[in-house]
């Protein structure tokens, strides 16, 4: 069972990654498709980080993972908006996060 | 002219490695968890490592291992693997125009190491320099691959000694990096639309669609951004 599973999962993940790299596929994105795809990184990255920061359940509503997360993420957002270079945004806000995590009540 | 042409492959690779490190470090707890969970559900160390070496998709691996712990069919594991990794199709189509001129082996290698993190770091590099660099993308992907597999190995060897490692807060580095990569363009209205719609939907959809919320929220955000961009300036095809 395991070896079939491994083979199948390898094939599926590789297919999803390689599908549009294949020359046999005749698709060429036109201007509309390219405009649509130009938003992909913003949309996907945001879809990945927001659920780390916020939680939602139909019964208890919206929740924040922690004040440390919220404050440090806000600092990262402000620094980026004010044009701080991204490497410094990551370093400063992550340092701030761990300081807050150590000092804020749980 | 772009700055890629002024750099040699080694410089580009080092730059990619440095840019990828914060994200790679952030997923170490999940790598360890993947290795440890593999042993827990009864895989041999070799089998547990091969999953990370060949499948190389964190969320899909963790989901499969969780399913393997209970009574499940191979088909349902394949279904969840496909749905979870479907967002790679979006990365693949976004990169398509940049990689078509490369050899089959090069395209295969790039596809093999294509992850959320490699996509994010490469897109940021393309924006910064004005041109996609295949060397940069490959080096970023390989960096991530090596760290993911080392983390898996640590989990296989010493899994039980790391309790609650996923609660250390290392995932904040993902939040910080992705904010730094996207908020600089927030002043463009369509980009803001993409981020707000995707971000809100991802949070709301996660409890309902634990496997597909990322792709669903992203496609909705992209569609709204596309509509907002067209409202501002229609594409030339529509003008004609």
| Cβ within 8 Å, pair B174-A86 | no
Q: B233 to chain A: nearest residue by CA? A: A35
- First-to-final CA distance of chain A: 44
pLDDT-based confidence at residue B6 (cuts at 50, 70, 90): low
| Cβ within 8 Å, pair B194-A39 | yes
Residue B122 has a CB neighbour count (10 Å cut-off) of 29
Q: How far is CA B66 from the centre of its chain?
A: 20
Burial class (CB in 10 A: 0-12, 13-18, 19+), B187: exposed
| Cβ within 8 Å, pair B77-A9 | yes
Q: For the whole model, what pTM was predicted?
A: 0.84
In this prediction, residue A54 carries a pLDDT of 96
- Assembly ipTM: 0.91
Where do the H-state alpha helices sit in chain B? Answer: 9-26, 28-40, 45-50, 58-68, 74-85, 87-99, 104-112, 116-129, 134-158, 172-182, 189-205, 213-232, 236-239
In this prediction, residue B236 carries a pLDDT of 61
Spell out which residues of chain B touch residue A37, defining contact as CB-CB under 8 Å.
Answer: 90, 93-94, 222
Q: What pLDDT, in 10s, does the model give residues B121-138? A: 999 999 899 999 999 999
d(CA A16, CA B225): 24
| Cβ within 8 Å, pair A56-B203 | yes
| Cβ within 8 Å, pair A86-B108 | no
In this prediction, residue B239 carries a pLDDT of 46
Q: What pLDDT, in 10s, does the model give residues B29-85? A: 889 989 998 998 899 999 999 999 999 998 899 889 988 888 888 888 998 899 889
Enumerate residue ranges in chain A where pLDDT < 70: 106
pLDDT-based confidence at residue B170 (cuts at 50, 70, 90): confident
d(CA A65, CA A73): 11
In this prediction, residue B72 carries a pLDDT of 81
B223 and A CB contact within 8 Å = yes
């Amino acid at each position: 069972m395991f070896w079939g599973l491994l083979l199948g999962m390898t094939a599926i993940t590789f297919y999803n990654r390689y599908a549009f790299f294949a020359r046999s596929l005749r698709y060429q994105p036109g201007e509309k498709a390219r405009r649509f795809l130009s938003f992909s990184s913003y949309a996907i990255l945001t879809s990945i980080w927001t659920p780390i920061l916020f939680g939602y359940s139909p019964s208890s509503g919206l929740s924040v993972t922690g004040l440390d997360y919220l404050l440090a993420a806000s600092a990262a957002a402000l620094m980026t908006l004010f044009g701080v270079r991204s490497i410094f945004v990551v370093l400063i806000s992550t340092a701030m996060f761990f300081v807050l995590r150590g000092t804020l009540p749980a | 002219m772009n700055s890629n042409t002024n750099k040699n492959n080694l410089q580009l690779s080092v730059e990619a490695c440095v840019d990828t490190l914060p994200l790679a470090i952030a997923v170490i707890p999940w790598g360890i968890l993947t290795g440890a969970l593999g042993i827990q559900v009864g895989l041999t160390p070799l089998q547990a490592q091969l999953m990370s070496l060949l499948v190389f998709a964190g969320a899909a691996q963790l989901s499969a291992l969780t399913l393997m712990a209970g009574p499940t069919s191979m088909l349902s594991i394949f279904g969840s693997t496909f749905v979870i990794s479907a967002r790679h199709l979006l990365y693949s189509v976004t990169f398509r125009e940049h990689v078509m001129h490369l050899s089959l082996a090069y395209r295969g290698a790039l596809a093999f190491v294509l992850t959320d993190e490699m996509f994010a770091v490469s897109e940021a590099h393309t924006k910064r320099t004005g041109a996609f660099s295949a060397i940069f993308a490959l080096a970023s992907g390989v960096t991530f691959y090596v760290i993911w597999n080392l983390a898996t190995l640590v989990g296989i060897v010493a899994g039980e000694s790391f309790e609650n490692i996923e609660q250390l807060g290392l995932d904040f580095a993902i939040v910080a990096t992705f904010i730094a990569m996207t908020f600089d363009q927030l002043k463009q209205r369509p980009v803001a639309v993409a981020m707000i719609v995707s971000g809100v939907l991802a949070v709301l959809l996660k409890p309902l669609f634990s496997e597909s919320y990322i792709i669903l929220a992203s496609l909705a955000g992209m569609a709204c951004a596309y509509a907002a961009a067209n409202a501002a300036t229609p594409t030339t095809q529509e003008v004609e």
